[in-house]
Amino acid sequence: MKAAVGSLVFFAVAPCVVGGLVPYWLTGWQVQTPLPFWAPVRILGAILVAMGLIVIVSAFARFVTEEIGTPAPVAPPRQLVIGGLYRHVRNPMYVALLIAVIGQALLLGQPALLVYAAVVFATVFSFVRLYEEPVLVGQFGADYDTYRQAVPGWLPRRRPWKKGSR
Q: What is the DSSP string of 136-152?
A: HHHHHTHHHHHHHHHS-
Least confident range of 81-85, 88-92, 106-110, 143-147? 81-85
Is the model more confident about 117 or about 9? Answer: 117
pLDDT band at residue 3 using 50, 70 and 90 as cut-offs: low
Cα separation, 134 vs 132, whole angstroms: 6
pLDDT reading at 7 higher than 70: no
Over residues 64-73, mean pLDDT: 70
pLDDT band at residue 2 using 50, 70 and 90 as cut-offs: low
Over residues 138-151, mean pLDDT: 94
pTM of the predicted model, to two decimals? 0.89
The per-residue pLDDT for 141 is 94
- Cα–Cα–Cα angle for 38, 40, 44, nearest 5°? 115
Q: Where are the domains of the chain?
A: 2-150
**Which of 156, 91, 161, 83 is CA-nearest to residue 126?**
91
pLDDT band at residue 165 using 50, 70 and 90 as cut-offs: low
The per-residue pLDDT for 34 is 74
Average pLDDT along the chain: 88
C-alpha distances (whole Å) from 94 to each of 15, 40, 63, 163 are 9, 25, 15, 22
C-alpha distances (whole Å) from 130 to each of 24, 115, 126, 127 are 29, 23, 6, 5
Q: Which helix (H) or strand (E) holds 107?
A: helix 92-108
